[in-house]
Amino acid sequence: MLITTNISSCPMSSFNFFNYCKKCLVIGGCGFLGQHLCEELIKREWSVQVFDLRKTFDNPKIKFFIGDLCNKEDLKPALEGVYCVFHCASPAPLSNNRAIFYKVNVDGTKNIISACIEVGVKRLVLTSSASVVYEGQDIKNGREEELPYAEKPLDYYTPTKILQEKFVGSKVLCSIIRKIKLNIAHNNFEFARGMANY
């Protein structure tokens, strides 16, 4: 799921922000999705920066910043001069550590939004999860964006992603795009390509 948000006062209608400015920051850019998103953005001639806890790959076309997204002072240098932030950071959903999910997905996202506003970032693209509307039953003939949040999440990860979405939606103008059927398999990176279109 993607939540594209307009943090500052830029027109949303027919505004192609990819042609407006091509400097972005991928938070969580060393993860699976983030790394493939970086590759797509570079193909589209973006100036790409990555912010993550550790550097897990090398690419001479990417500027890396190492830090903790829960520390605003770590984030600010990476955000300077950036037009769009892609927030892909999240602990692995299979963990049982509730505290780390809350710290990263909720508190970390609040920190990112606050830092983006202070520095003047214009756009934020938040990656979320289809699990926020899933309760163990197949979703048939439904428009995911019209479905209510799961009342009985199946894991510890999902409640924090729901809180994350609600917080982002309460703080900034946003539109939500959810994809339930993602064919992510070896060498299939359609999701990253789709994100690069936002």
- How far from the centroid of its chain's Cα atoms is residue 147's Cα? 20
Specify the DSSP element, H or E, that contains 50: strand 47-52
Contact 17, 172 (CB under 8 A): no
Quote the tokens at residue 13. Answer: 């209608």
Q: Name which of 117, 123, 115, 170 is nearest 15 in CA terms.
A: 123
Q: Name which of 29, 45, 27 is nearest 37 in CA terms.
A: 29
Radius of gyration of the CA atoms of the chain, in A? 16
Is 149 annotated as catalytic? Answer: no
At 188, give phi and psi (nearest 5°). Answer: -120, 105
Active-site option among 102, 149, 156, 157? 157
Which residues participate in catalysis according to the annotation?
A: 157
